Amino acid sequence: MTANRVGEPVVSARDLSIHYVSRDALSYHKAISGVSFDLAPGEVLGVVGESGSGKSTLALTIAAQAGRGTAGSGTAEICGGSLRVGNTDIRRLTRRRRDRLTLSTGYLSQGAAVSLNPQLTVSENVAEPIFLRDRRFNQREAMTAVATLIDSVQLPLSVLDSLPHELSSGQRQRVALARALILEPTLLVADEPTRGIDATVRSGVIDVLRELQRERGFSALIVSSDLDVISTVADRVAVLDRGLLIGIGPIDTVFTDPQHPYLRSLAAVHDQRRRQSGAA
Ligand SMILES: Nc1ncnc2c1ncn2[C@@H]1O[C@H](COP(=O)(O)OP(=O)(O)OP(=O)(O)O)[C@@H](O)[C@H]1O
């Protein structure tokens, strides 16, 4: 990402609409409709919503992963409004600028932990983005950066030579997080960072994420259907419902006097959790 001026939003969406184009280019499916928000430097924005509300679509578009559609599926495309990430206009992204942007935005996809290369060791998996950026990067320096990050995600250095299948789901997710952060991005986009992780270690992954964010000061957009995750990690929450942004703000403000039925149901869950944790 090209550096943005001090204080300017890291992400700026204005009336943003995104649709999927079918492979034969004959049909469209609107996934995001007229969404506007800013993400400030160093801010963590949580995105919640029901399944199919457009969370992943928004995340992958911001992370400049849209257009890298998997075989057989449609391709996400901005069809209205604008989206800026740093100084880059995502709507007018050339392939070259996209490659540059993806190197400077950490993207933790929904399946990141299971998509680690099974043939590479942990250290090779984490170091890979460094060598994709610069084939001739100093090996020793890369290994030092990898070891530092593995330590920061609170894994023992003994995992460096392990293969992904030798780790637990929570450990794999920490490795995936280390990989997403190895190039020291100014923006991290994490899609359901705790999905598929054992409930007992879920909060550990979130704590590590929050700690690293505080330490390094990157901005983050965290998608989660788990309100506990969002209230732990996010400064503000954005609520999506069928592609529409129905609320955005600090979590308590968004859930104060909610008018929309989905916001009301989330507010009830939030309230109940708060009372439970207060009573605990
Ligand atoms: N590759 C695709 N091609 C066509 N439509 C898609 C594609 N991916 C998602 N969609 C549609 O776009 C809408 C938004 O999907 P998206 O995956 O962004 O929702 P989500 O909120 O992330 O859901 P989940 O929580 O289940 O991951 C849905 O209606 C979905 O069916």
Residue 180 has pLDDT above 60, yes or no: yes
Could you tell me the distance, in angstroms and rounded to a whole number, from the CA of residue 178 to the centre of ligand 1?
Answer: 26
Among 28, 55, 68, which residue has the most ligand 1 atoms within 8 Å of its CB, making it the best to mutate? 55
Number of residues written out for the chain: 280
SS3 (DSSP) at 130? helix
Residue 45 has pLDDT above 80, yes or no: yes
Residue 196 belongs to a domain: yes
Residue 113 has pLDDT above 60, yes or no: yes
Buried b (16+ CB within 10 A) or exposed e, 239-249: bbbebbbbbbe
Q: Does residue 52 have its Cβ closer than 6 Å to ligand 1?
A: yes
pLDDT of 258 reads 87
Closest CA relative to residue 8, chosen from 112, 72, 87: 87
Instruction: Report d(CA 214, CA 105) in Å as an integer.
Output: 17
Q: Does residue 55 have its Cβ closer than 6 Å to ligand 1?
A: yes
Closest CA relative to residue 192, chosen from 235, 217, 226, 240: 226
Residue 158 has pLDDT above 60, yes or no: yes
How many domains, in total, are found in the chain? 1
pLDDT of 87 reads 86
Could you tell me the distance, in angstroms and rounded to a whole number, from the CA of residue 53 to the centre of ligand 1?
Answer: 7
Could you tell me the distance, in angstroms and rounded to a whole number, from the CA of residue 31 to the centre of ligand 1?
Answer: 7
CATH classification at residue 29? 3.40.50.300
Residue 5 belongs to a domain: no
CB under 8 Å to 121, separation ≥6 — which residues?
160, 161, 162, 163
Q: Per-residue pLDDT averaged across 246-269, rounded?
A: 91
Per-residue pLDDT of 52-78, as tens digits, reads 999 999 999 999 887 665 444 678 999
The domain of 238 spans 11-279
Residue 224 has pLDDT above 80, yes or no: yes
Q: Does residue 253 have its Cβ closer than 6 Å to ligand 1?
A: no
pLDDT of 249 reads 95
Q: Does residue 49 have its Cβ closer than 6 Å to ligand 1?
A: yes
Residue 57 belongs to a domain: yes
Residue 233 belongs to a domain: yes
pLDDT of 24 reads 81
Q: Per-residue pLDDT averaged across 176-191, rounded?
A: 94
Strand blocks (E) in 40-151: 44-49, 75-85, 88-89, 105-108
Q: Per-residue pLDDT averaged across 146-154, rounded?
A: 94
Burial of 98 (0-12, 13-18, 19+ CB in 10 A): middle
Chain-centroid distance of CA 172 in Å reads 16
Cα distances (angstroms) measured from residue 55 to each of 19, 177, 243, 277, 278: 13, 19, 8, 27, 30
Contact 176, 113 (CB under 8 A): yes
pLDDT of 71 reads 46
Among 26, 32, 57, 77, which residue has the most ligand 1 atoms within 8 Å of its CB, making it the best to mutate? 57
Q: Does residue 56 have its Cβ closer than 6 Å to ligand 1?
A: yes
Average pLDDT, the chain: 89
Residue 184 belongs to a domain: yes
pLDDT grade for 2, boundaries at 50, 70 and 90: very low
pLDDT of 23 reads 79
Residue 2 belongs to a domain: no
- In the sheet that 28-39 helps form, which strands lie side by side, from edge to edge? 28-39, 11-21, 75-85, 88-89
Residue 6 belongs to a domain: no
Q: Does residue 236 have its Cβ closer than 6 Å to ligand 1?
A: no
Q: Per-residue pLDDT averaged across 23-30, rounded?
A: 86
Could you tell me the distance, in angstroms and rounded to a whole number, from the CA of residue 109 to the centre of ligand 1?
Answer: 14
Q: Does residue 62 have its Cβ closer than 6 Å to ligand 1?
A: no
SS3 (DSSP) at 88? strand
**Which amino acid would we find at residue 239?**
V
Could you tell me the distance, in angstroms and rounded to a whole number, from the CA of residue 38 to the centre of ligand 1?
Answer: 22
Instruction: Report d(CA 199, CA 180) in Å as an integer.
Output: 22
SS3 (DSSP) at 190? strand
SS3 (DSSP) at 148? helix
Could you tell me the distance, in angstroms and rounded to a whole number, from the CA of residue 56 to the centre of ligand 1?
Answer: 7
Q: Per-residue pLDDT averaged across 137-147, rounded?
A: 95
pLDDT of 198 reads 79
